[in-house]
Amino acid sequence: MQEFIDGYIIEPNNGNYKQTMESATYLGKIIHDLEDYPFTLPTNDLSSWYSKESFINSKKKHYEILKKLNNNNQIDRKIKNDIINKIKMLDDIINRYDFSEMKNLTCKNTHGDYNVMQFIYKDGKINAIIDFVSACKMPIVWEIIRSYSYIDEKGKSGEFNINNFIDYVKEVCKYVKLNKCDIKYMPYLYMIQLLNSTYGYKQFLIDRNNKSMFNFGCFRTRVCEYLYNNAEILSEELLKKIKADI
């Protein structure tokens, strides 16, 4: 379909403020409009992500990556350092947090893979949004925070611009209501997903010519580390500045 749509794409984390907010507007509209979708979409409640069993299995996946690394290779040493740090973070959150309250996250129909890589632009504005193949019913806050992290040009380092992020969530909330659980746990949910994942590094080790996968793995690790150190701050700021349903 992309071949027949007039326009162009932009690389991740190259969206200016206006384009970042435009992404939020369209996400809010998509979720709102899909509430009346007449067919049943698959459900992905994501609860498996924050179970202790999931954390244990994720650590096993990370250790499998470590076995494939060559200490004499600079890139492999970088991956090793990142994976070891992720294992340490996993160990910490297993012992420090109780995520049982996340069962109250709002699940609605949504795109399922909403991010800037699915946008086709024309004259600096979104002309089309493609690839609804992953459309499902899921905790919508995951789609909100993930899509923000991929578009804002101020997030290239993996860190969030807190003001832009809060504005992004506020814009989505013009079309979709969130509860306090959604707002509180949004950063934690995304952090957990990134901690559990080996995506990027795993693909690079299969095809070492694919440096884009290595770079993507590094970016996801930087986001993960940022959230690990700042999830509580983000959560508190969101609760202060965004009106939530009880």
Written as six digits, the tokens of 113 are 């893979």
Rounded to whole angstroms, how far apart are CA atoms 48 and 189? Answer: 11
Cα 5 to the center of its chain, rounded Å: 26
Which of these ranges, 2-16, 97-111, 155-169, 194-208, has the smallest mean pLDDT? 2-16
For 101-147, what is each residue's pLDDT tens digit? Answer: 999 999 999 999 999 999 999 999 999 999 999 999 999 999 999 99
| Cβ 192 vs Cβ 51: under 8 Å | no
Q: Buried b / exposed e across 143-166, counting CB within 10 Å, b at 16+? A: bbbbbbbbbbbbbeebbbbeebbb
Q: How many CA atoms lie within 13 A of 82 on its CB side?
A: 30
Question: Which residues are bridge partners to 137 per DSSP?
Answer: 43, 109
Q: What per-residue confidence (pLDDT) applies to 60?
A: 96
The predicted pLDDT at position 245 comes to 60
Q: Which tokens go with 221?
A: 């690790």
β-pairing, 125-129 vs 136-139, is unpaired
Fold for domain 1-46+105-178?
A: Transferase(Phosphotransferase); domain 1 (1.10.510)
Q: Indicate the pLDDT class of residue 246, thresholds 50, 70 and 90.
A: very low
User: What pLDDT shows up at residue 158?
Assistant: 97
In 3D, which of 110, 102, 99, 232 has the Cα closest to residue 179? Answer: 102
Rounded average pLDDT over 84-93: 95
The alpha helices in 104-175, defined as continuous H runs, are 140-151, 162-172
**Does the structure show a pLDDT above 90 at 243?**
no
pLDDT in tens, 162-200: 999 999 999 999 999 999 999 999 999 999 999 999 999
